Amino acid sequence: MTTLPSDAPVHNFGMGLTAYIIGDLLPKRKGIETVRDTIEKIVQIPMASKLYIRPTWRQMQSQRGRLDMFEHWQVTLELAEKYNKPVGFRIMLANPDIAEESLPDFVLDNVPMQRLGQGWASDEVSDPSEIRTRKEHHIPYYHHPYFLEALDEFDALLAEKYNGHACIEYMDTYMHGFWGEGHTWPYELVSPFPDQQTGVETWIRIFEMQRRHWTKTPLVTNLQPDISQVGNDELVRRTLAAGEWLRSDTIFIEPQQIELAGVRPPQVAFISEVGMSDGLPESLRLDNGLPHTENIIAHVRDVGANYWSLWNWHNIHAEHVLNYYHQYPAGIDGLNRVIGYRLRPAWIWVCGNQTESVLIVGLANDGISNVPGIVRLTLLDQKGHPVSEATLEAGHPIPHQVRLAHLKLPAGVEWIGMSLKAELIVKGVNHPIRWACREPVNSDGSLTLKHSMI
């Protein structure tokens, strides 16, 4: 039997185009829209199979010992379940783009704050009315015992509720400074730590705390170069050693980030966050007749991303994504048909004799990224009972290579009519894989085996 690659988008765990509910700012409500109306329109963006939300700690907790998540979070999780679009998220400990504090009052009342400075670098701000240009910026003494204790308690409460939750795709690691990206540029020379070693040790402690709590949900570390000297490189090293995932918010600058994304271990997913045009003439940034967003998409493909952001930066609304898409659908549609991993049993052979036989599956990956975990194949009889299983090496098959898997067949059992199912195992959790083949697949994503004309 053989299969052909599918031309349609395939939605599996560990991949997909991602609609942003919150990036740095809340989504823009239009007219008489309620919060739910605005979020539901974003969730319904047809190209998006995943969602992302980036609230502050303050928006998720107002007093110790319990969670009291704000409306945007609650609505997002409800709609994620309704539309079957899982959520990635980050909890920001400092957001320079909002007027309100990022930390709960109980933290602010007990932890000293480090003043960084006033305003922002003029060459990095296109709109002088942005809050960051007039705000006085502070970050906490992350190493303060009260801060570490309160964050540990908060993260444990989050994990108790959402670790391994069906609606949660991944969680970003906590990192230093603005937006939790791992820096305080343009104030990178101002530090809340008494010395560099304390900063590095503090962030290692926070990282290991988070890994201790989130045993089932992938953690994602930003590839920010360590300009604030707080141990980012060590966090990335530990992330890779643990088989957790990576992300970047650039696709053109900082060669270090691009290289690390491109040479990551095969089982490590890469999340690309780069803002796109809203379709208005001033945001298209045409070059040789093509919008800048098309250049972004091409380079997202170059690094073999698992995810890419459908995100208008500080101008989030479904209409803005769709306004661009309706003018230039080819780039986004093309990326949606290749992003992540796209597995199919390209060849299926049966070898053996009357007493012993084996079904050999030649697995192909027609996507642009490796598989962010371990693939397990299960052969099912016509009643759905497992007959045989095989697992592949973590991260395989990689694109443009074929991996063989051997599944034993009971003596005298006919393989025609059996089903071949695939699962992705990440941190001990099994996620069903829908085969990315042109041939019809079953409702659970499996493929019923039959003879092919060859």
Structure confidence at residue 410 (pLDDT)? 84
pTM of the model: 0.96
Distances (CA, A) of 419 to 359, 360, 379, 447, 453: 12, 14, 6, 5, 19
Phi, psi of 50 (to 5 degrees): -135, 160
Could you tell me if 251 and 274 are in contact, meaning their C-beta atoms sit under 8 angstroms apart?
yes
Distance of CA 265 to the CA centre of its chain: 16
Using CB atoms within 10 Å of the CB of residue 186, give its burial: 0 to 12 exposed, 13 to 18 middle, 19+ buried: middle
Beta pairing partners, 19: 51, 310
| Dist. CA 206–CA 202, nearest whole Å | 6
Distances (CA, A) of 47 to 18, 167, 362, 421: 8, 18, 30, 26
Structure confidence at residue 328 (pLDDT)? 98
Structure confidence at residue 125 (pLDDT)? 58
Beta pairing partners, 51: 19, 87
Which residue's entry shows tokens 């071949």? 420
Which parts of the chain have pLDDT scores under 70? 122-126, 453-454
Where do the DSSP E strands lie in 62-135? 87-89, 113-118
Reading phi first (left if > 0) and then psi (alpha if -120 to 50, else beta), residue 312 is in: alpha
Structure confidence at residue 353 (pLDDT)? 74
Q: What is the DSSP code string of 12-41?
A: -TT-EEEEES-SSSPPPP-TT--HHHHHHH
CB-based burial, 367-399: b 16+ in 10 Å, e otherwise: bbbbbbbbbbbbbbbeeeeebbebebebbbbbb
pLDDT tens for each residue of 357-407: 999 999 999 999 999 999 999 999 999 999 999 999 999 999 999 999 999
42 three-class SS: helix
Q: How many helices (H) and strands (E) does the chain have?
A: 11, 18
Structure confidence at residue 77 (pLDDT)? 99
- For residue 296, give the H/E element and its range: helix 292-302
| Dist. CA 202–CA 144, nearest whole Å | 9
Structure confidence at residue 413 (pLDDT)? 82
pLDDT tens for each residue of 319-342: 999 999 999 999 999 999 999 999
Domains belonging to the chain, first-starting first, are: 16-336 (3.20.20.80), 343-448 (2.60.40.10)
Could you tell me if 216 and 427 are in contact, meaning their C-beta atoms sit under 8 angstroms apart?
yes
Could you tell me if 79 and 42 are in contact, meaning their C-beta atoms sit under 8 angstroms apart?
no
